[in-house]
Amino acid sequence: MISLANNKDLKPEDFPSDIEGLRMTRQRREVLAVILRDRDHPTANDVFLRAQDRMPTISLATVYNCLEALVTHNIVRQVNLDRESSRYCPNLSDHCHFQDEASGKIHDVVFKEGVKLEDILELPKGTKISHLDISLKGNFGNR
């Protein structure tokens, strides 16, 4: 698999014809490129508006279908914060989301080196974590 996580300059035409078993149609390429480009956790509507720059004929329904396929094939992650619209994140490594209340922007935050969930949470004995979804809200103080 190509490394998508750290490659924000990949152009849609650079993607392989198949990623994680998903055939990369022109529309899926555009949608994925949009998500990789800005990494600001866009909503489906944000993706739609941005994808239109290069593909004016793409519809919102197509964008939704593309996003669903990309999420199902673990190429991008769907992020749900509160009751807001779902957002999309290309970072597949374990991380949490921090929403800056002042700007509304969502940032990826990672665990400190070597820290495991079992070290900080009282998990029932035998618990096996299959999915991590932690979101935090706050601000950056007086920055």
- Closest distance to Zn ion from the beta carbon of 79 (Å): 6
* 43 forms part of the interface with Zn ion (CB under 5 A): no
How many residues of this chain bind Zn ion (CB under 5 A)?
A: 3
3-state SS, residue 52: helix
* 86 forms part of the interface with Zn ion (CB under 5 A): no
Query: Judged by CB, which is closer to Zn ion: 18, or 101?
Result: 101
* 108 forms part of the interface with Zn ion (CB under 5 A): yes
Q: Between the CA of residue 134 and those of 14, 49, 82, what are the distances in Å?
A: 32, 28, 11
- Closest distance to Zn ion from the beta carbon of 36 (Å): 12
Burial of 97 (0-12, 13-18, 19+ CB in 10 A): buried
Tell me the sheet residues that pair with 66.
none
* 100 forms part of the interface with Zn ion (CB under 5 A): no
